[in-house]
Structure 1
Amino acid sequence: MFTDLTHDTAPTASLPGLEIVAKRTGGPIPPAVARMAHSPELLDGFLALTDMYDRTTLDPVAREVVVMAVAVRNDCHVCVQMHTRKLRALKAAPEVIDALTSYTRLPDDRLEAVRRFVDAVYASAGEVTDEELQDFLAHGHTERNALEVVMGIGTYTMSTFANRLTRA
């Protein structure tokens, strides 16, 4: 079964990724990353995609709504824990965090539109209805944001699946 890799046990090609994560966290490598390191390609891909996703035009809390919607939907407990901490660091309202973790309606209509759009994209494998897209756009989001939501779904679906596979 998958074990937590370290700088001493990881494949050489995973070491740059592990070092990036160690610098970001300022401490030990999280188990999810330590297990992802079994595949340098997966680790590098995930780190590159998260860097790109963090540069999207979605605001930071909206990005986290996408991540949490994916994590809760895919039952990735480690992701929910990590991104709950991130939402707290972003000063997201406790009611928003509670609604995300319980997968209930968000008290902020703009953020709720993001969560609903994630659901619509998943349910239709991306072929959302015109009404679903219009609902998303009507809450101040753009077509670019819609594509950025797809990017977030892809990035964090990969992560949640890897975490569940490796029992992170």
Structure 2
Amino acid sequence: MFTDHTTDTAPPAARKTMTAIETRVGRLPPAVARMAESPELLDGFLRSSGLFDASTLDPVAREVVVMTMATRNPCHVCVAVHTAKLRALDADEDLVVALTGSGPLPDERLDALRTFTLEVLRTGGEVDDDTLTAFLRNGHTRRNALEVVLGIGAYTMSTLANRMTRAPL
């Protein structure tokens, strides 16, 4: 249904972005090739995920938010890519395995982050004071709470687009 675009077949507005990704990664990931159908979505995802990467959440914490989104909106592409990213970050293997399940994470601070992310999603952002307090008590900040919203926004685009386009690994 969706085309695996190349820089020759993609809408003109997506070509510069695709070329940059291909140069940086060494290939054009299929998810990008399909997302390129909408240059606005492709650029929006890349910009918002770049902003999320620049947030004050540490790299493993950011991956916890991403994997929470990837498993909640079952996106096999995101789970595979971000499992590899966690391993590249030398994340504890028990954490990597736990992120694909529903049990608690072995790190209390990261478990509080996943719980908070799921509660933000469940309540449409209207988390109660006890939820926010529990999040803060586990070493996170009010700024981090808002950065979770940024991560949810970026990876909602990615997970839903990958599922809709049936992007392969």
How many residues end up aligned between the 2 structures? Answer: 167
Partner of 1:101: 100
Say if 1:72 and 1:103, in contact at 8 Å, map to a contact too.
no
Q: 1:10 is aligned with what amino acid?
A: A
Report the 3-state secondary structure (helix = DSSP H, G, I; strand = E; otherwise coil) of the residue aligned with 1:2. Answer: coil
* Amino acid across the alignment from 1:8: D
Structure 2 residues not aligned, in runs of 5+ = none
Percent identical: 60
Aligned to 2:90: 91
Partner of 1:32: 31
Question: How do 1:6-155 residues align onto structure 2 when only pairs under 5 Å count?
Answer: 6-25=6-25, 27-155=26-154
Distance in 2, Cα, partners of 1:67 & 1:24: 21
Task: Map Cα deviations across residues 88-143 of structure 1 (whole Å, 9 max, x no partner).
Answer: 01110000000001232100001001100011001100000100000100011000
Indicate conservation of the 8 Å contact 1:68/1:80, yes or no: yes
Counterpart secondary structure, 2:61: helix
The two structures, once aligned, show a CA RMSD in angstroms of 0.8
* Deviation, structure 1 residue 21: 1.5
Distance 1:16 1:102 in 2: 38
TM-score by length of 1: 0.97
Q: Render the CA deviation track for 1:124-167: whole Å, top value 9, x for unaligned.
A: 00000100000100011000000000100011011100011100
Q: Which amino acid aligns with 2:112?
A: A
Distance (Å, rounded) in 1 between the aligned partners of 2:7 and 2:50: 22
Q: Which runs of 5+ in 1 are unaligned?
A: none
Q: Is the 8 A contact 1:69 1:103 kept in 2?
A: no
Partner amino acid, structure 2, of 1:24: R
Q: What CA distance in whole angstroms lies between the structure 2 residues aligned with 1:102 and 1:16? A: 38
**1:20 Cα shift?**
2.3
- The 2-side partners of 1:36 and 1:22 are apart by 14
